[in-house]
Structure 1
Amino acid sequence: MKINKNILLGGVLTSALVLGACGSNVSADDMEWETEERNGAVTVKDNVETSAGTTAQEAVDKALKEFDGTVTDVEYDEDDGVYYYNIEIENGNDDFEVKLNAENLSIIEQDLDRDDNDDNDDRDDNEVDAAEKNTASSANSKGDAKAADAFGGDKSAEAIEAAQERFDGILEEISYEEDDGAYYYEVKLESENEEYEVKLSADNLSVVEEELEDENSERGFKRLQAAHEEAIISLEDAKQIAAEAVNSEIDEWKYDADDFKYEFEVGGNEVKINAKTGDVTEIDD
């Protein structure tokens, strides 16, 4: 799989980025962003349209709707014929990275790195709320309702319910895996202060193994709540897409609520699917 990295800007961006390309429609090979200072908010001065029909500023604006903070890195790149923007944002102890399809600015992948040491976070509650303004505003006590709908009709929904009977939290991740011929569900749940992980036998949902850890990241929990407010395709639909992508049967699978991502092991291939759009984002042999 070839990845051409030809547009990269490091450090904190200045108040105006200068695109070093001419014309109204350019390819990734023609673009270059340059800046002298390393401070301020991001603004693309010459809002040049890329060959995909979108602009860097549009991509930055979309990323900042997903997570509030300071843009530190912007990249326009290509992977297997698919052009994308990769944007990194910092806010205090949080580092957010989002990958956007350059054609329609849909989210291909997103990731949040959290510093869980809240003892070193001296921001007040208002500042924390501001950091989450675009992702947590719609979260409520039924944050996992849409995820529950997505797994309805499948035994995995029973696995999630069984895990939540043992721990009061919302779904972070669920997987269906095999170990020495025995299949099991692994369910990870998160609350404001703790993270719970349990392995359940696929046959009768009996507990094989469980673990409880402290999770001291209120902002991370808010983001997970907000993620559950987003509509995603059902597990059944995702299975069908994955099976058709490589024309084989599914062996194992995983869903990650933080990244809106399904991953399937299908006939010796790994197939990744964007849970919000249903697009196949990657197939690895």
Structure 2
Amino acid sequence: MKLNKNLLVGGVLASALVLGACGSNVSADDMEWETEENSGSVTVRDNTETASGTTAQEAVDKALKEFDGTVTDVEYDEDDGVYYYDIEIENGNEDFEVKLNAEDLSIIEQDLDRDDDDRDDERDDDNEVQASDKKTKQSADTNGNTKLAEAFKDDKSAEAIEAAHERFDGILEEVSYEEDDGVYYYEVKLENKKEEYEVKLKADNLSVLEEEHESDNNDRGFKRLEAAQDEKIISLKQAKETAAEAVNGKIDEWDYDVDDFKYEFEIGDYEVKVNAKTGDVIEIDD
């Protein structure tokens, strides 16, 4: 159960997380949290170790290294046998949510939301770049991760991306492999500071099936997309292998969204999502 309330400790309003559980080793059902929105440090008064071997304070400290702000919600939960901490942080008009594996505090999933407000454009730009810089960075040497430009080199989609670049001067926003009425095609989306471009290329010969230009002046979104170009991710080939093993099937369609760092695959009746930074399967829908 998750509670939100103001805490008065020793007559002073404090920013705290309170773990309402007894004993030195607890399960998800035994966890009860109270949080308060207030600037300053966040502490856990009863720093009880969970059954996974980590403490709430360790999880909070890790989350605050990823994003500066005030912790507003914390949960210790379980999904398909995996225990994790779900931590929400606010900073002005930005909300950051991160899920940390309770065993080793590795990032399972993270999400950054912003409220658009023209009065805060300059601050948004600064925070956006900072948030991109603080995202988890995987080692190319130890995990086989590579920059975006190399992630598709072993797949024909690399040729589709190159063909799109020949028609439009922009950076990659999204690429997918899809089917419509028996026709397979690549859809490539590019963007620059003024426009978004989308083209559908027939998979067998890369002939243009459809293309579209759209005006776009979302400078904040473009900066985030620019930052994502240099992030280390697993290759499409690696992601395909991971997804196919997860449900033991053949991939029908796939999609990669650059600044979401997520591969999505359709395999039979399943949709498998793979974290492009960690290489972990983060969701399977049927």
Instruction: Give the stretch that moved more between structures: 61-70 or 75-84.
Output: 61-70
Which deviates more from structure 2 when the two are superposed, residues 90-99 or residues 72-81?
Answer: 90-99
The equivalent of 2:238 in structure 1 is 237
SS at match of 1:58: helix
Provide the residue aligned with 1:129 in structure 2. 126
Structure 2 CA distance for aligned equivalents of residues 202 and 79 of structure 1: 37
* Distance in 1 separating the partners of 2:188 and 2:85: 32
Q: Give per-residue Cα distances to partners, 1:181-204, cap 9 Å, x unaligned.
A: 111222233334544333222223
Residue of structure 2 equivalent to 1:201: 202
Aligned residues: 269
SS in 2 for 1:283: strand
Aligned to 2:249: 248
Counterpart of 2:9?
none
In the alignment, which of 218, 236, 239 is matched to residue 216 of structure 1?
Answer: 218
1:184 corresponds in structure 2 to 185
Comparing 261-270 with 85-94, greater Cα deviation is found at 85-94
RMSD: 3.0
Give the Å deviation of 1:263: 1.2
Query: Is residue 85–residue 100 contact of structure 1 (8 Å, CA) maintained in 2?
Result: yes
**Distance of aligned partners of 1:235 and 1:133 in 2 relative to their CA distance in 1, 3 Å threshold:** same
Q: Which residue of 1 aligns with 2:143?
A: none
8 Å contact kept, 1:137–1:226: no
Deviations 1:148-171 (A, max 9, x none): 211112111122222233333332
Q: Structure 1 pair 52/187, CA: closer, same or farther in 2 (3 Å)?
A: farther
**By how many angstroms is 1:272 displaced?**
1.5
Q: Counterparts of 2:90 and 2:192 in 1: how far apart (Å)? A: 24
Aligned amino acid, residue 129 of structure 1: D
2:278 is matched with 277
Indicate the SS of the match to 1:276: coil
Instruction: Please state how far the C-alpha of 1:215 moved relative to its aligned partner.
Output: 4.1
Q: What is aligned with 1:120? A: 119
Q: Would the alpha carbon gap of residues 189 and 210 (structure 1) be closer, same or farther in structure 2, given more than 3 Å must change?
A: same
Q: Give 1:32's aligned amino acid.
A: E
**Contact 2:39 2:69 (8 Å CA) reproduced:** no
TM-fit CA distance, 1:134: 4.9
> What displacement does 1:280 show?
1.8
Matched residues in 2 for 1:58 and 1:88: separation? 15
Does the 8 Å CA contact 1:7/1:32 hold for their aligned counterparts?
Answer: yes
Instruction: Tell me which residue corresponds to 2:27.
Output: 27
Aligned 8 A contact 1:9 1:74 in 2: no
Contact 1:14 1:40 in 2 (8 A): no
1:12-37 CA-partner distances (Å, limit 9, x unpaired): x95222211223322111111124x5
Counterpart of 2:129, as a letter, is E
Aligned to 1:158: 159
Match of 2:262 in 1: 261
Q: 1:68 touches 1:131 (CA, 8 Å); kept in 2?
A: no
The 1-side partners of 2:175 and 2:78 are apart by 30
